[in-house]
Each structure stands twice: as structure tokens, then as C-alpha cells.
Amino acid sequence: MGIFLCDCGGSLKNIDFPKISGDLEKLEDVAFIDISHSLCLEEGEKAITSRILSENINRVVIAACSAELREHKFVRLLEELRFNPSLLSLANIREQCSWTCEGDVTEKATELIRMAIGKARLLQPVERKNVPVNREVLVLGGGFAGMKSALELSRLGIRTTIVERKSTLGGKLKEVEGFYGLETSLKQMLDSMITAIEKDNNIEVLTSAEVTRVRGEVGDFDITIGGGRREFSLSFGAIIFATGYRTEILPQDFELKPGGNIISQLDLVEMLRAPEKLKRRPETIGFVLDVCDENSRLPTLSSLNNVLAVREKLGSEVYVFCKNLKVDSEGAEELYREARNRGVVFLKFDEPPQIYREDGRVTIKAKDVLLGEEVVLLCDLLVAEERALPPEGTKGLSSMLNIGTDSQGFYQDENVHLYPAASARKGVLFVGGCRGNLDLGRALTDIASAVMGSYSLLALGEAVVEVEKVRVDPEKCRACLTCIRACPHGAIQLLRVNTEKEVAQISDLACDGCGVCAAVCPAKAINFEGYSDEQILAEVETIGG
């Protein structure tokens, strides 16, 4: 092996480099030891290049600064020299040695380098290669988020198939008349999207269909789709979940049933669409928010839009009961101000209000914190709170794919490293309502993220993988399934190697290199190259040797 030492421009004055060189020269398998002033600069790279090209070595040890700062540079240089960078071992003698310790640290530096040498001896080459990936994407759900995702992917030249449970596209948004103050209504927007999808050759639509089975991994998902009596399989490179959300109107907390003068936002919108059909104009309308769900961005936004529409089209008196008005989305504070300017009264409670029907009207009783007194409102209509719930089938699909859900049961773990749209499984993405992200502005950024995520995975039709960086030894594997259960990335499957034995096999493409499987394997059958037991022990055992 070849050893390069760097004294960082001569600044590592508490290390005696000639002494280290003299010590290590005695090792049998060391071909040469070079001392440089600046391995990371052009002249340093030239020195490494000429040495590696002229000497016949199969391992490289570099003792310099933090791997975080420079490792990529050395790796790239070795790649250019066609020297497998997995045979490089680094020792940090600057940040973790010279800078952190007082006085002469030659001895510590020597030990650090010896550790790197000990590891280098056992390093095995890991090859990189390109594997083909399927460029088509499955979009689950034909609502706004699903359709928008498909259209955006098509714009970038990626083919998609939309699978929609219902018989038509449009989803929930189809049922909502425009938000207040918009020139084009949401319905018009939706209609133009449906037309665009029908014309788009990159998008195929399967309605009245459902996914019944998912197999395989990123680049090659094998999806079984059922609908009616037919069932068939298709292959996709990635899956975007856009299955939306369900709502529960006037949740049971009130022990009241919706209907009559207790209506949903949707019923209200129907009324606003054709106010002339109303037998009697409602004099007073009450809205209630935040009673059973404080994650109420969308209900707040739709209420704010609808109260303004009510003031304009019906002229009714409007009272909004809420706990904390959710104004942390774009434009919400403006709508709130506008509503107050138009005479809408906002009442804030700490304790949930009491609601009951009385003489054909609805009574809302709440202690308003601003007045400090109990307010009793008799209203002709109550627009009830709607709680968002995960879409049907979330549990089934998430367990089929082995992906987590959040505390409310929506898709996607509460893990900031996955936000906005990713899951622990590569190539499985979530957008909009099904991950609990309910306001339109944020759903749009989800969609863009999912589109970018699948584009960068699949656009080239192939992906670079490290071949068997994490490898199962078929002799030792007892097929106990421990690794399969532990793998957060769904990268391990059982495979029959010959007729008598099944062993775990790790997909190079789906593997994220987290090492969990190697840690849990009771038979020690899984080897993570660069971090194997032997390599780590070799490092440790060198100390003091």
C-alpha cells in the first residue's frame, strides 16, 4: 500500500512527520510514504497521481484533514486514475488530532494512521455499475394532486398511469365551488386539467380501479391492479400516492347528526352557487372550528373564503367560533382582516362550545374569551366542523409497502428527513391530503417535490449502484426474516438460490446503506463493506500495537 501524509502547509507543528514516516516504513506491506504540504491543492493531486501511476499498489492510506472536507476530492481523483476508491482509507490528523490536543501529538497521529492501515489491509473493492430502471410512474388517485403530478411529469417527458378508484377524475375538489376572489373557479381549473389529461399521450387513466398488490422495488415495482372482474399486473419505476383524504362532518363529539340546519361546507357552497333557489334567506349563520381537530388549516381557509362569499351573496350575519384561528398559510391573515371589515364576528373559546337544536334553529353556547362572558347564538344554519381523516385503504397499503404513518394515521412517518414528499422506501412518494397536508399552496409544493423526486430517480432510464456493498453470505443466512423486518427501506427479499434453500437478498438500488440489517442479523451473515466486524476490529486492535 501507499501512504500519503499531509502537514497542511506546515501548520501541523505538533506532529513530527519524519518520525512517523520512519516508524511506518518498517511495516512490510507499505510500499512508500510521501509527506506533502497540501494534498488537497493542485500540486498535491499531481504528486498523488504520479505516485499511483508509477507504483504498483493496491491500497491507499491518506492522513490529512477531516474526511468531510476532502474525502470527495480524493475519491474523485482516484476514480479518474481508475483506482477503486473503496480501497482508500483516511486518517484525520488535523481536526481530530493536531488541532484538538495540546503539545506533541506525534504518537496519537501515528496510532490514527496505524488504524487506517489496519483497516486498509482488509478493504475489498466495491464496483459501481449502471442498472436499468423503468421510466414509468404510477399515480394513485385522480384528484387534483394526482392529475397535477401526472401533468407535470408529462411536461418533463415521463409517462404515467393514473389509477382512480372512482369512475371519473376530479376527486374532492370537484365538489367545491371556487374559492372567494379567484378569477377562475376551482371547478374550471379542474375541468381544464381533465381535458389536458385526455389529450396527453404520456398519461393513461384507469378509472374504477384499485391497486391490490405491490411487489418489487424502486425502478421495478410490480403492481397488480384490480377493478371490476379484471385483474392485471403492470410495472413501474416509482409510485406517487395522491389518494387524498376523507372528511367526517360534525364528528360525534357533539352527539348531533348533520342534516337540516346543520350543514357541511360543501352544502353551503351548493347554496351559494344558486342562492335564488333558497326558500328563505338564512338570517344568521354560525361556523365552528377547532373543536375536535386543531390541524385545521384547510377548514380555516375554506371557512374564511365561504364567510366572505356568504356576506356577498346572502348578506347574512356571520359568526365564527374558533379556538386559535389558523392564519399560517399564504393569504389567510388578509382574508381574516377582510372578513372582519365586512362585519363577520369572530368569537374565540378556550372550552369547546355546546351546540344543540332548538325550535328549528341551532343554538351555540360558548364562553368568549374576549368578552369574558357566555355567548348564546341562535342561528338559522350551522356550518359544522369537518375533521380530515386518512383515505380508505391507507392501513392496507402502508403495511403492504412496509411504510410508516403519522400519529393521525396519514401516510408518511413524522421524520423531517423525508419531508416533503418522500418515504423511507425509494421511489414511493406522497402528495397532498393523503399525507395530511391539506392546504392547496403546500399541496402544490408537495406535487413539485414528488415530480422532481421521481424524475431524478428515473429520467435517465438507469441508475448507478454500488454492487453488493451490503451483501448476504448465502452459507450463513438461515432465512430467519429478521433483516427483512428491520429494513426501513424495503430493500431485502427472500430469494430461492437453489431448490432447497431460501436466502435474504439485498437490492443494490433500493438499499440506502443504513447498516441496520448487518447489525441485527443473528447469524452475522450480512457484511457491510468498509464497516465489517473484521475491519473495525482490525482498526481497534492496532491501537497500542
Partner 1 sequence: MNKSIAVIGGGASGITSALELANSGFRVYLIEREAAIGGQAASFCCKATDICTKCSVCLIPEKLNEVAVHPKISVLTDSTVAGLSGKAGDFEVEVLRKPQYIALERCVACGMCAGVCPTEPKASRSPSPDAVPYCYVIDETRCLRLRGEKCNLCQGTCPTNAIDFDREPERKELSVSAIIVATGFEVFNAREIGSLGYGRYPNILTGLDLERIFKDQGSLKLPSNGKEARRIAFIQCVGSRNEGHGYCSQVCCKYAMRFARLIKYQNPDTQVTIFYIDLQTAGKGFAEFYDECRGVIRFIRGVPVEILETSGELEVRFENISEGKVERETFDLVTLSVGITPRKDSWSLARVLGINLGDHGFFDTKEPFNSIETNVEGIFLAGTCQGPKDIPDSIAHGVAAAEGAMGVLEKCK
Report the nearest approach of partner 1 to the CB of residue 4 (Å). Answer: 15
CA dihedral 428, 434, 436, 437 (to 10 degrees): 80
In the list 14, 449, 482, 493, the residue contacting partner 1 (rule: CB under 8 A) is 449
- Distance set, CA 278 to CA 263, 266, 268, 313, 381 (Å): 14, 15, 11, 12, 13
**155 vs 496, beta carbon nearer partner 1:** 155
Window 259 to 278, contacts with partner 1 (CB under 8 A): none
In the list 200, 222, 248, 293, the residue contacting partner 1 (rule: CB under 8 A) is 293
The helix/strand/coil state of 335 is helix
Task: Write out the DSSP string of 181-223.
Answer: T-SS-HHHHHHHHHHHHHH-TTEEEE-S-EEEEEEEETTEEEE
* Position 350 contacts partner 1 (CB under 8 A): yes
With a CB cutoff of 8 Å and minimum separation 6, the contacts of 31 are: 1, 2, 55, 56, 57
In the list 324, 399, 494, 501, the residue contacting partner 1 (rule: CB under 8 A) is 324
* Position 100 contacts partner 1 (CB under 8 A): no
In the list 234, 459, 523, 536, the residue contacting partner 1 (rule: CB under 8 A) is 459
- Residue 427: count other Cβ atoms within 10 Å of its Cβ: 28
Report the nearest approach of partner 1 to the CB of residue 392 (Å). Answer: 20
Taking the C-alpha atoms of residue 44 and residue 46, their distance in angstroms, rounded to an integer, is: 5
* Position 37 contacts partner 1 (CB under 8 A): yes
Asked if 345 and 375 touch (Cβ cutoff 8 Å), the reply is no
Taking the C-alpha atoms of residue 430 and residue 74, their distance in angstroms, rounded to an integer, is: 37
Report the nearest approach of partner 1 to the CB of residue 409 (Å). Answer: 12
In the list 27, 31, 53, 69, the residue contacting partner 1 (rule: CB under 8 A) is 69
In the list 138, 325, 509, 511, the residue contacting partner 1 (rule: CB under 8 A) is 325
* Position 334 contacts partner 1 (CB under 8 A): yes
For 333-489, list the strands marked E by DSSP: 345-348, 354-358, 361-368, 373-379, 381-383, 386-389, 428-430, 462-466, 470-472
CA dihedral 136, 141, 147, 153 (to 10 degrees): -20
In the list 41, 47, 375, 480, the residue contacting partner 1 (rule: CB under 8 A) is 41
Report the nearest approach of partner 1 to the CB of residue 17 (Å). Answer: 14
* Position 414 contacts partner 1 (CB under 8 A): yes
* Position 345 contacts partner 1 (CB under 8 A): no
Binding residues for partner 1, rule CB under 8 A, total 70
Binding mask 156-195 for partner 1 (x = CB under 8 A): xx------------------------x-------------
Rg over CA atoms, the chain: 32
492-496 vs 230-236, strand pairing mode: unpaired
In the list 167, 201, 407, 499, the residue contacting partner 1 (rule: CB under 8 A) is 407
Q: Report the candidate in 200, 195, 153 with the shortest Cα–Cα distance to residue 170.
A: 195
In the list 121, 273, 442, 478, the residue contacting partner 1 (rule: CB under 8 A) is 442
Centroid of chain to Cα 173: 24
| Interface segment toward partner 1; rule CB under 8 A; list 77-85, 243-251, 429-437, 498-506 | 429-437
Asked if 205 and 197 touch (Cβ cutoff 8 Å), the reply is yes
Q: Report the candidate in 245, 144, 130, 159 with the shortest Cα–Cα distance to residue 193.
A: 144
Residue ranges binding partner 1 (CB under 8 A)? 8-12, 37-38, 40-41, 65, 68-69, 72-73, 76, 152, 155-157, 182, 293-297, 324-334, 337, 348, 350, 369-372, 406-407, 410, 412, 414, 416-417, 419-421, 435-437, 440-442, 444-446, 448-449, 451-452, 455-456, 459-460
